[in-house]
Amino acid sequence: MTDDRLPLAELMAKTGDGDFLRTIAESVLQIIMEADVDGLVGASRHERSGDRTTWRNGYRDRSLDTRLGTLNLRIPKLRTGAYFPGFLEPRKTVEKALVAVIQEAWIAGVSTRRVDELVQAMGMTGISKSSVSKLCKDIDERVHAFLKRPLTGDWPYLWLDATYLKVREGGRIVSVAAIIAVAVNTEGKREIVGLHIGPSEAEPFWSSFLKDLARRGLTGVKLVISDAHEGLKAAITRVLSVSLR
């Protein structure tokens, strides 16, 4: 994947479920901080170790403004000495690396390389491979559960938006379409209900995406709002039997 992917996460944050994206971002930074503190302390939480240099002593709250919104973090405190993560220092930015990690989770699963890049951008060292693997697993599970969650009730309004990404396949860079579906239910709540990556926006691509939404419980759609793409119009008629605006 290339850095052309970055607008996708921002598009998702603007179109719906910014809270979910912020929760993932908070989790990523929190797990990395916890692993960093374990290294400084010489032991994990409650672990008995001859290498221990001090003990944890609760947390203090700190906010961090990012393009995904304000993140609420809990900074670990130590009984002796002090801990302050370098990425919170003025003029220190980790946004690009953080957004890249989160976005990769939505597209193809998080790679350890992306997490390593984030850790380096945060100015941290000594994060173990097991901690990196734990972080990748945590993010992937959250995103998978979110994208595959059952949809209950009726969703009268459906917005479909697309952005194009540059990805590396077989040693060459190709363009793929990333489709985001945002729906509003009868209570007026807006949510991201689906995201799909494919080689084009042809009718089979749209039909497959919409059928998956229907299988997960997307019902009661009265109006679809999107660009008047011929493949999309055909898929909407075939799968949802509603009008496109």
Predicted confidence (pLDDT) per residue in 121-152, tens digit: 887 776 788 888 888 888 888 888 988 999 99
Q: Are residues 100 and 130 in the same domain?
A: yes
Boundary-marking domain end, from 120, 147, 174: 147
Does residue 161 share a domain with residue 134? no
Residue 186 confidence (pLDDT) above 90 = yes
Domain of residue 88 covers 3-147
Q: How far is CA 183 from the centre of its chain?
A: 18
Per-residue pLDDT of 63-109, as tens digits, reads 988 888 889 999 999 988 888 888 887 656 787 788 778 877 777 77
Q: What is the pLDDT of residues 218-233, one digit of tens each?
A: 999 999 998 767 888 8
Q: Is residue 152 part of a domain?
A: no
8 Å CB contact between 121 and 94: yes
- Return the structure tokens found at 96: 């690009």
Last-in-domain residue among 147, 172, 205: 147
Q: What total number of domains does the chain contain?
A: 2
Q: Are residues 79 and 165 in the same domain?
A: no
The predicted model gives 177-183 an average pLDDT of 86
Q: Which two tokens stand for residue 86?
A: 């370098």
Residue 45 lies in a domain: yes
Q: Are residues 168 and 123 in the same domain?
A: no
Confidence of residue 169 (pLDDT cuts 50, 70, 90): low
Over residues 43-61, the pLDDT tens digits come to 777 677 767 778 888 999 9
Residue 6: per-residue pLDDT: 41
